[in-house]
Amino acid sequence: MSAIRASGFGVAELPTIVRGRGSCLYDADGKRYLDGSGGPAVFSVGHAHPEVNAAIIRQLEDVAYGYRYLYTSAALEQLSATVLGLCGGEYEHIVFSGSGSEAVESALKMALQHFAARGLQHKRHFIARRRSWHGNTLGALSVSGFAQRRKSFEGSLLDVSFIAAANTFRPPVGVAAEALTQVLAAELEQTILARGPETVAAFIFEPIVGAAGGVVPAPEGYAAAMQAVCRRHDVLMIADEVMCGSGRSGTWRTLAHDGVVADIMAVAKGLAGGYIPLAATLCTTQVAAPIMSEHGAFQTGHTFSGHTTACAAGVAVQALIAREQLIERVRLRGAEWQSALRAALAGFDEVGDVRGRGFFIGIEFVADRVSKAPFPRERALSFDIGARAFRDGLICYPCAGNVDGESGDTIILAPPYNASDAELEEILGKLTTAVADALVRQL
C-alpha cells in the first residue's frame, strides 16, 4: 500500500496500481478491483484492450506527435471525420485538446471570439447552473456551481450568473416537477434580461449533471426550452458533454436524446477511453463563420492540441465501439441494469432516487424518504459506502454536497460499455453489500 492519501472517493490510502484488464484493475498486492464507475466515467472500453494498445504502438513506431500548427496527420484527420460523423453532421468544426477542462475552456473562448468577430465585444457574460461542474481551469471553474471546489479560488473567478439546477427529484420550493421546465426557462430569460441581452454571451449546462449532482438528467423538453430562450436573445448555448457524452448515456451526443443541437459542445472522457488524454470542442457553422471570416482560425489551442498518438487512440476506441455496437448495448442494457439496481436497493428507505441513462447511473441517499432531507455532512455516507465497496474490490464514485453545496450523498456508477453481464451483476451485488454495511443492515 502507498503512503499517499486519497483526496476523495473515501479511500484512506491509495494502493499502487500495476495492471488493468477489461473491466478490472489489479494492485501491487494482487488485489482485483472491478471498475464500476470507469474511474470518473472515463473508461469506455475497459483497460488494456489489445486493439487499442496495438493502434497506439503502431502510431508511436511511426511518430508520437506532430505539432498541430505545423502538421496534420492521418490519425487527426480520421478522428475528426469520425467524431463529426458520429454527431450526425450537426457540427462542422472541431478543436482537440487534452482534458475536459480544456475542452470547456475552448468552448467559452469560442463563444467570446464569435461575438468579438461580429463586433459585439460587450457580450462577455456567461450564465450557468447551480450544482454544476465544468472543470478545473479558472474559466471552467468560474462557470461551475460547485461550492467546495470553488472556495479556494473565489475572488479570482469570472463574474458568472447562476440559475437553478434542473432536478426533478429536488425542484425549487413550490415548483411541481411537471412545471419545472417552464419555470427554469422563465428564470433563464429573466436572468438574461436583468443582466442585459447585449452583455450575455452564452448559457452553459450539462445535459446530465455528473459529479456535482450525482447523475441528474434534465427533464424532457428542458434543452429545447432553454435553447429557445437563448435564440430569442442572441445567446449561444454550450453543452458540456465531457462526462455524459461519447456514448455514455446511450447516444453518442447526449442531447441527441432531446432532439437538440447545442451551438458549442465539449466532449472528453469516453472519447479515447482513458488510454491517452483527449478532448474535443465542436461548434456549428453558424458559430464558426464569423470567426473564420474575421480571424481566420479559432484562437484557442495548446501545444498538445490534436496530439497524434492521442488521436490514434481515439480512432481505435471509437472504431471498437462502433464495430461491437456498444452504444446500442449501453442504451438497452443500461435501462435493464438501472431497473435491477432499483429493485436491489428498494429495501433501503435511505435510497431516495435511482436515476440516469445508459451506463451513467446515480443513486441518491436521504435521511428521510418523505422529506428528502439529506444526511448530515459529517456522516459522509457516500464516502463511507465508497470506501467499503473499495475494500471489497469495487470501484464506485461517491459524491457529496448535491443538496446545498455541503450536504447530500450520491454514488455514481459508470462501467465500461463492454462490461459483461456477469460483471454488471457483480457491481450490483457488491454495491448492495456496501450500502447494507454502511447502514448497518442485514441483507
State the Cα–Cα distance between residues 262 and 32, nearest whole angstrom: 41
Of 241, 307, 317, nearest to 277 by C-alpha is 307
Cα torsion 238, 244, 250, 252: sign: positive
What 3-state DSSP class applies to 33? Answer: strand
Q: Which pLDDT score is estimated for 13?
A: 83
Neighbour tally for 439: CB within 10 Å? 15
Alpha helices in 372-417 (DSSP H): 381-391
What is the 8-class DSSP label of residue 352?
A: E
Q: Which pLDDT score is estimated for 97?
A: 97
Contacts of 186 (CB under 8 A, 6+ apart): none
Residues in the chain: 443
Q: Which pairs with CB-CB distance under 8 Å and at least 24 residues apart come from 12-21?
A: 12/387, 19/48, 20/46, 20/47, 20/48, 21/46, 21/47, 21/48
Task: Name the amino acid, one letter, at 376.
Answer: P
Q: Which pLDDT score is estimated for 441?
A: 74
Task: Name the amino acid, one letter, at 12.
Answer: A
Q: What is the CATH number of domain 63-323?
A: 3.40.640.10
Of 186, 181, 282, 184, nearest to 236 by C-alpha is 282
- Count each helix (H run) and each strand (E run) in the chain, helices first: 14, 17
Which residue reads 442585459 in cell numbers? 196
State the Cα–Cα distance between residues 387 and 10, nearest whole angstrom: 5
In contact, 245 and 256? CB cutoff 8 Å: no
What 3-state DSSP class applies to 363? Answer: strand
What is the 8-class DSSP label of residue 306?
A: T
What is the 8-class DSSP label of residue 5?
A: P
State the Cα–Cα distance between residues 227 and 230, nearest whole angstrom: 5
CATH 3.30.300.30 fits 17-49+325-438, yes or no: no
Q: Which pLDDT score is estimated for 17?
A: 96
What is the 8-class DSSP label of residue 325?
A: T
pTM exceeds 0.75, yes or no: yes
In contact, 315 and 55? CB cutoff 8 Å: yes
Contacts of 166 (CB under 8 A, 6+ apart): 129, 180, 181, 184, 205, 216, 218, 219, 222
Q: What are phi and psi of 16, to 5 degrees?
A: -90, 120
What are the per-10-residue average pLDDT scores of the chain (443 residues)? Answer: 48 89 98 97 98 98 95 97 96 97 98 98 98 97 94 96 97 91 98 98 98 96 98 98 98 97 98 98 98 97 95 98 98 98 96 98 97 96 97 97 94 98 98 96 67
State the Cα–Cα distance between residues 258 and 254, nearest whole angstrom: 8
State the Cα–Cα distance between residues 411 and 433, nearest whole angstrom: 14
CATH 3.40.640.10 occupies which residues in the chain? 63-323
State the Cα–Cα distance between residues 255 and 258, nearest whole angstrom: 5
Query: CA triplet 152, 154, 157: central angle to 5 degrees?
Result: 120
